[in-house]
Amino acid sequence: MSQPLVIRLGSYSAVASLLLAFGALVGFLISVGSGKISEAAGSTGFYIAAARALGSLALLPLALVALWLQQRDRMGRFGALAFAAALVGTVLAVGAQWTYVFVVPYFADAAPELVNESSGIALVGFLISYAALAAGWVAFGVATLRTRVFPRWAAVLLIAGGAISIVPMPSRTLVLALALALLGLQLLRAPREDALPE
């Protein structure tokens, strides 16, 4: 697969990730609201919202690769490490989100207290996953800021999105997905020879 095609696919993935993240937020607000997760987890609305959140997270690595390819010549060692950290953190977060789709609905009836009040090793796993996601994307945002390939405001939004993703709330990666979608749209609108180098 050619590099220009990978960049375009990553750009489209970034936009799709934002749409899914927004849909997940709306779905969680409707299905859960201020109630308990265990009461909503068996509903179709919760399942669809959780699946959208999973899809949004699963598309982030493609967007990350597109941004990396666009600016890799200016990234340096720190940028390479930040790319790797963001990739690993995103994979861990996808695994954590996977449980909302396939595990939480199963345990909602059998052990509602486990679903409503995460504790122990499950809580530690979630904290590690989303802390790795946040740290990796903040680092990649800083590396992006240093390259000056993209506008400063976009890199700052990327850093903010990474930092916010550690906060336990519905669709916690919405700001990160917004930053990536805006960056992806810039790649799609840029002149082909500039945005899609060989």
- Residue span of the structural domain in which 179 resides: 3-195
Name the burial class of residue 41, with classes exposed (0-12), middle (13-18) and buried (19+) by CB atoms within 10 angstroms of its CB.
buried
> How far apart, in whole angstroms, are the C-alpha atoms of residue 11 and residue 65?
9
DSSP state of 91: H
Sorted by sequence, the CB contacts under 8 Å of residue 193 that are 6+ apart come out as none
pLDDT of residue 116: 59
pLDDT of residue 195: 39
> How far apart, in whole angstroms, are the C-alpha atoms of residue 120 and residue 25?
26
What are φ and ψ of residue 169, in 5° steps? -150, 165
Note if the pTM is more than 0.75.
Answer: yes
pLDDT of residue 196: 38
Q: How many domains does the chain have?
A: 1
> How far apart, in whole angstroms, are the C-alpha atoms of residue 151 and residue 124?
36
pLDDT of residue 137: 97
pLDDT of residue 140: 98
pLDDT of residue 112: 58
Residues constituting the chain? 198
Q: What residues in the chain have per-residue pLDDT under 70?
A: 1, 34-35, 37-38, 107-120, 191-198
